[in-house]
Amino acid sequence: MKLFDAHTHIHFPLYDADREAVIKRAKEAGVKMLCVGTQAASSEAAVELARKNPREVWAAAGFHPNHFASSWYHDKKEQPKGEREEFDAQRLRKIAENPEVVAIGEFGLDYYRLTDELKEKENQQEAFQVQANIAKDLQKAMMLHCRPAKGTDDAYIEADRILSTFENLPPRIFHFYVGSMRITKKLVEAGSYFTFGGVITFSRDYDEIIKYIPLDRILLETDAPYVAPMPYRGKRNEPAYIIETAKKLAEIKGISADEAAEQTTVNGLKVFRI
């Protein structure tokens, strides 16, 4: 069984002590992966890791919307230095031009926990526009982080509105998708792709949406080190664990695990042009 982890962060400092072992376990499990940046420094780290592991690891370069939050804090899992990094479009574009980079992201809109709502939304939307332009210019897929305010689809609605103002955009992938059926139908019609991770192995909240989305629009992810699937829940996540998510996707879709693994891998190779 070959699998593609479309969204992982094993280039984060949390893996510094055993990163090679994590990659070895992924190889043994038949898992290739996309390491996703959250700001310039982590994007550069993803490129470096991809260079060291050709044909096994690829990179995405982007600036996460939570880095605009007034309540920003230093997540030691994500970055070694405690200083807040400012958004630098020119630096990000230069990183994105590297051949190891096959996607722009993760970028998007996170409206779940806003402190200074108007300012933070404006900053996020401006950076969204800039990064969508980089994706368009380089024709590299967009790895989108959208998290709406509780009980709404607002971040997805706004992201869809902004993207509708562009022409000739590359594929869009909504990472860790949590949208309602109403917005899902609209995003599917717009040609979007969606990733699902370990949460689907212990929560039934996603079953209806997964049944609706065509299999050729779904990618699997770990979002490691976060949200490990059962039976690893509560532990540090890693790409080798994605097989558990593939099994659960297959169960929800009523297909074999081999079919789920094969099609989601084909989808990943297609959208990232690997």
CA distances from 97 to 54, 90, 130 (A): 17, 11, 15
Q: What integer pLDDT is reported at residue 87 of this predicted model?
A: 96
Q: What integer pLDDT is reported at residue 214 of this predicted model?
A: 98
pTM: 0.97
Q: What integer pLDDT is reported at residue 79 of this predicted model?
A: 84
Q: Give the Cβ contact number of residue 72 at 10 Å.
A: 13
Q: What integer pLDDT is reported at residue 122 of this predicted model?
A: 95
- Could you tell me which residues are beta bridge partners of residue 173? 143, 193
Identity of residue 187? L
All residue ranges of the chain with pLDDT < 50 are: none
Q: What integer pLDDT is reported at residue 29 of this predicted model?
A: 97
Q: What integer pLDDT is reported at residue 116 of this predicted model?
A: 78
Q: What integer pLDDT is reported at residue 118 of this predicted model?
A: 86
Contacts of 140 (CB under 8 A, 6+ apart): 96, 101, 102, 103, 104, 170
Q: What integer pLDDT is reported at residue 207 of this predicted model?
A: 98
CA distance 126 to 114: 16
In the chain, the domains with their CATH numbers are: 3-271 (3.20.20.140)
Beta strands in 22-92 (DSSP E): 31-36, 57-61
